[in-house]
Amino acid sequence: MLLTYNVLQARFLKKMPKMAQTADNWGTGCAMAQMRIKDIAAEAGVSPATVSRYLNNRPGQMTEETRARIAEVIERTGYRPRAAARNLRSSRTNLIGVILADIANPFSSAMLEGLSASAAARGCSLMTAISGNDPAKEAESLTRLIDAGVDGLVVNTCGGNDKAIAAAAGRLPVVLLDRDVAAGGIDLVTSNNRELVAGLVDALAAAGSERLCLLTEASDDSPVRRERAEAFADELSRRGLAGEVVTLADGGVEGVNRLDEAIREYAGKKLGLIAVNGLVFLRLTEALAQLGPSLPAGLKIATFDDYPWNHVLFGGVTTAAQDTLTIAERVVERLSERIDVVTTTVGDAAKLAPKRIEVPGHIEHRASTSR
């Protein structure tokens, strides 16, 4: 019996490694079933908050190496979020990030008011950043707002950040406000700028203007200003009119001198001026006030962006009025559509084809272009 026992014991001991291995597998299986975010974090060498951001597709400044480590741990352990954890993907903060290029531009302040009202109507609040037309600040704002957990972004870009904006659009819903990126591929809501330029040229030509100047800013970073300048050139060519684009950098000495120079170049011709936006119109008003008596007879003026002072200055200024309220509504509406899709579907079903949405404006005819 002793021999038999010894034989059995040997056989049992021989099988122990295999049994131990099986037990280890059982233990691993239990561990896999009970893995939590903090366990994933410990194995990946990151914080639980970082893992949470990864699972919710909000990586922020997370490096590719960190994402790869987390992905490797999840794949190796077979981790699957519980139903409650999966629902984190569809949870919302009801926060919309907004980046504006230049709050000094009256268009931007009017747009911010419209965005706030439209977001509030949907139970959302805004987190706002102002880039001041500084690409570096705009890039910082993109990162900061994404890290803050906003559901989506509205970007009125100052230019120079196309790659950063495209990367942001790969992480969460993004809608561009007024200004497009060079490569396109992202939702854009803007005005029908070409038609509005044509309407202003119509008004000046009907008022007898023989030469036209489009007054713009020194920087050409704005796709909107470029589009309006191109449309202006096309209209001059189509109608056989003379004219040019003139930079009115500010209302100071340089801006006044440049405007005076342009006026003198067209001495003896009936001159029509178009301000490319509301900010340039204010600079034009200041410059004209300084030129005073030297202004030519028959000078006609028109501008973009309709504000209260447009009804008073020059007896009322003919204006390409953009529908800022509707633009804001369309921006928030489109962003909400993208947020809804992202938070309720996965894979290809979560992809929407980008849209260019042009909101029609109209021409307000006033005394500044009367005969």
DSSP states of 71-125 as a string?
HHHHHHHT----HHHHGGGG----EEEEEES-TTSHHHHHHHHHHHHHHHHTT-E
Mean of all residue pLDDT scores within the chain: 82
Which residue type does 47 have?
S
What pLDDT is attached to residue 222?
A: 80
Query: At 59, is the pLDDT very low, low, confident or very high (cuts 50, 70, 90)?
Result: low
**Residue 258 has what pLDDT?**
77
Examine the pLDDT at 74 and tell me if it is beyond 60: yes
CB atoms within 10 A of CB 247: 16
118-132, 177-191, 292-306: segment of lowest average pLDDT: 292-306
Question: Residue 63 gets which letter from DSSP?
Answer: -
pLDDT at 52 over 90: no
Q: 3-class SS at 68?
A: helix
Closest CA to 154 of 329, 304, 352: 329
Q: For 246-301, how does the pLDDT look when each residue is reduced to its tens digit (9 = 90+)? A: 888 655 567 677 778 877 777 677 899 999 998 899 889 888 888 876 677 789 99
pLDDT of 37: 79
- What is the average per-residue pLDDT within 34-41? 78
CA distances for 106 relative to 83, 89, 225, 280, 316, angstroms: 48, 38, 15, 10, 18
- Ranking 198-202, 253-257, 346-350 by mean pLDDT, the lowest is 346-350
According to CATH, the topology of domain 193-323+363-369 is Rossmann fold (3.40.50)
pLDDT at 63: 85
Residue 106's pLDDT band (cuts 50, 70, 90) = confident
Pair 58, 92: CB distance under 8 Å? no
More confident call, 152 vs 3: 152
Judge whether 138 and 146 are in contact, CB under 8 Å.
no
The Cα 263–Cα 54 span in angstroms is 60
Tell me which of 361 and 91 has the higher pLDDT.
Answer: 361
When mean pLDDT is compared across 184-198, 223-237, 238-252, the lowest value belongs to 238-252
CATH 3.40.50.2300 residue ranges of the chain are 93-191+325-360, 193-323+363-369
Indicate the CATH number for domain 93-191+325-360.
3.40.50.2300
Contacts of 106 (CB under 8 A, 6+ apart): 278, 279, 282, 305, 307
Please tell me the predicted confidence (pLDDT) of residue 296.
Answer: 75
Give 145's pLDDT tier (boundaries 50, 70, 90): very high
- The stretch 140-157 carries a mean pLDDT of 94
Please tell me the CATH superfamily of domain 2-88, with its number: lambda repressor-like DNA-binding domains (1.10.260.40)
How many other C-beta atoms can be found within 10 angstroms of the C-beta atom of residue 164? 19
Sign (positive or negative) of CA dihedral 149, 159, 274, 229: negative
Most confident of 66-75, 78-87, 311-320: 311-320
Q: Say yes or no to pLDDT of 57 above 70.
A: no
Q: Which two tokens stand for residue 354?
A: 């980008």
Task: Report the pLDDT averaged over residues 106-124.
Answer: 92
d(CA 358, CA 190): 5
112: its two tokens: 């911010």
Q: Which of 23-32, 212-221, 233-242, 337-346 has the lowest mean pLDDT?
A: 23-32
Report residue 323's pLDDT band, with 50, 70 and 90 as the boundaries. Answer: very high
- Please give the single-letter amino acid code of residue 122: R
- Please report, for residues 2, 18, 35, 45, the alpha-carbon distance to residue 8 in angstroms, rounded to integers and kept in the order given: 10, 16, 39, 46
Per-residue pLDDT, 51: 79
Bridge partners of residue 97, in order along the sequence: 127, 153
Q: How many CA atoms lie within 13 A of 121 on its CB side?
A: 12
**In the chain, where does DSSP find H-type helix?**
2-34, 37-44, 48-55, 64-77, 83-86, 106-121, 135-147, 162-169, 193-206, 223-239, 253-265, 278-291, 324-344
Region 29-49: mean pLDDT is 71
Q: Which residues fall within 8 angstroms of residue 125, CB to CB, at 6 or more apart?
A: 94, 95, 96, 119
Cα 30 from Cα 24, distance rounded (Å): 10
Express as a percent the part of the chain with pLDDT over 70.
81
What's the CA gap between 167 and 185, in Å, rounded? 12
> Which neighbouring-strand residues pair with 242?
211
From-to residues of CATH 1.10.260.40 in the chain: 2-88
Q: Which range (47-56, 181-190, 202-211, 227-236) has the least confidence?
A: 47-56
Mean pLDDT computed over 157-165: 89
Name the residue with higher pLDDT: 354 or 33.
354
